[in-house]
Amino acid sequence: MHSISSRSLGADRCLAIGGLLCWLGIVAAIAGTAFRIVKQYHEGGLYDAKHGGMADFHNGAYHSALAIRDGVSPYGNDFAKKYPVAKPNPAFSPSILALHIPIAMLPQRIADLLYFILSIVLLGWIAWLATIESIPDPIRSPNLRGFLFPFL
């Protein structure tokens, strides 16, 4: 018969608090990012540091994907004249921009929200995969369970 020692209860409590603090940190980071995006939302056009929220998505992916859909090269000056962007897009390959066409079919504000949510989900998934792959048996490891809890 297994006995529960006060040391293991204390360790479990410490791990639970660590897991809770980890969750609070993640929520605070996401909330802070969302607040900054809303407060400094970028409508389009020239980049302004005071209004940089979602500027990379707008200038780099959203309007470039719309241009590809419309048959306009996002790498030329016609693109910068027809779409509310600061300059032609030199950053992404056409295949990356083509992958963004489905989200670019949505109105810009809805696409922004969906892109933000997808980014958070994918970041969490990648963190979870990296954590699971780096630990032999994370579910049964009592020393790591509390810290991994937000990603399981």
DSSP-H helix ranges across the chain: 6-39, 55-56, 63-70, 77-82, 94-99, 101-104, 108-134, 142-148
| For residue 27, pLDDT beyond 80 | yes
Q: Between 131 and 146, whose confidence is greater?
A: 131
pLDDT at 90: 67
Overall residue count recorded for the chain in this entry: 152
| For residue 133, pLDDT beyond 90 | no
pTM of the predicted structure, to 2 decimals:
0.66
Q: How confident is the model at residue 49 (pLDDT cuts 50, 70, 90)?
A: low
What distance in Å separates the CA atoms of residue 43 and residue 53, rounded to the nearest whole number?
9
